[in-house]
Amino acid sequence: MPLLLPMKRYRTHIILAVRICLGILFIFSSVSKLFPIEYFELLLVKQHIVNWSLSPFASRLFIGLELVLGIFLIAGIRLKWTLYTALALLVVFTFYLTKLYLVDGNSENCGCFGTWLIMSPIQAILKNVLLIAITLWVIKYNEWQRLNIHVVLYILGMLVGMGSIFAVNQVTDASLQLRDKDSKNFPINLLSIADSSNMKEIQALKRGKQIVGFLTFGCKYCRIAAAKAQVIKSNNPQLPITFVMAGTVAKKEAFLRESMLTTIPIIQVMDDPFVKITGGEFPVFYFLENDTLRYRRYGQAEMNQAEMEQWLSQ
């Protein structure tokens, strides 16, 4: 009998440590999707969860919910509600990831940790199954007398925590315009994607009429669009086409080889500002005039040499 008390106390400490680890994981998951948040917004639209107009708000609400659950798990606030909410969230997204795997295969980034940690659907499913098992274990053995805060305060804390995401990463008019495919004639802050290594090249794009393609090295559709743009450029070398590209250097060589690029200059930038200035969708071609977006075309299907030449001659 005396041995049971130390064992019970030992298990209590383990449960506390596991619960704190779960909370830290939820917080990391929320923060990693927040910067840049545009990638997660794009993922919600791409998987037909919400449309473009709702994605800036749905993404922030979901990230805020993850953040609040993480904080409440660590602090021990309304643990039964918090644990069951976290469990429901894990189960729902495991079903969603299974659907993603069955429909699109195992090549997509699940978006669980934004662009900070790339995970395939299978990896994410295994991660979620493990977390579900751990959460069920904590629910079964946890002691429930910790910080039994009134339900009104609990809900208020949820709302304040989720609302803080909107304050940290605001939905601006500019970000909404970037998601409106018909939006045009508004300034583009190209300097936001520049660093010391490419400042001169970015500055050059701010003068006169420019056709700027935003692509990534790992995107197969970007390779097709780049190959078509190279043909257009070969047909008319006077067209001011420039690629602004993001992605890992490891994929750059394969991209250049498959797209057969020879005469279109490439400016390589960091992922975060790239995603922000494109609104999270690529390949996209911006028709810029003195740093102002006139209109844009998406992918190789919307690229037209005659249209480019006509726009430049106006």
DSSP calls for 115-164: TTB---HHHHHHHHHHHHHHHHHHHHH----S----HHHHHHHHHHHHHH
**CA-angle at 219, arms to 196 and 37, nearest 5°:** 65
Tokens of 48: 């037909």
Confidence of residue 16 (pLDDT cuts 50, 70, 90): confident
Whether 181 contacts 279, CB under 8 Å: no
For the chain, the distance separating the N- and C-terminal CA atoms, rounded to the nearest angstrom, is 91
Q: DSSP secondary-structure letter at 113?
A: B
Strands 241-246 and 209-216: parallel
Give me the pLDDT at residue 89, please.
Answer: 93
pLDDT for res 166: 67
Mean pLDDT of all residues in 155-179: 64
- Res 183: pLDDT: 62
The answer, yes or no, to whether residue 56 has pLDDT greater than 50, is: yes
pLDDT higher than 50, residue 1: no
- Cα 51 to Cα 20, 54, 83, 111, 179, distances in angstroms: 35, 6, 30, 17, 10
Query: 245-256: buried (b, 16+ CB within 10 Å) or exposed (e) per residue?
Result: bbbeeeeeeebe
Q: Which domains does the chain have, with CATH numbers?
A: 4-171 (no CATH), 179-313 (3.40.30.10)
More confident residue, 28 or 118: 28
| Vertex 115: Cα angle to 186 and 106 (nearest 5) | 115
Helices (H) and strands (E) counted in the chain, each on its own, are 12, 6
Predicted local distance difference test score (pLDDT) of residue 242: 93
- Which whole number is the average pLDDT over 291-305? 84
Reported as a single tens digit per residue, the pLDDT across 242-281 is 999 887 777 888 888 888 888 999 998 877 677 777 766 7
Greatest C-alpha distance within the chain: 91
Query: What band does 173 get if pLDDT is binned at 50, 70 and 90?
Result: low
Q: What is the pLDDT of residue 22?
A: 94
pLDDT score for 176: 53
Residue type at position 195: D
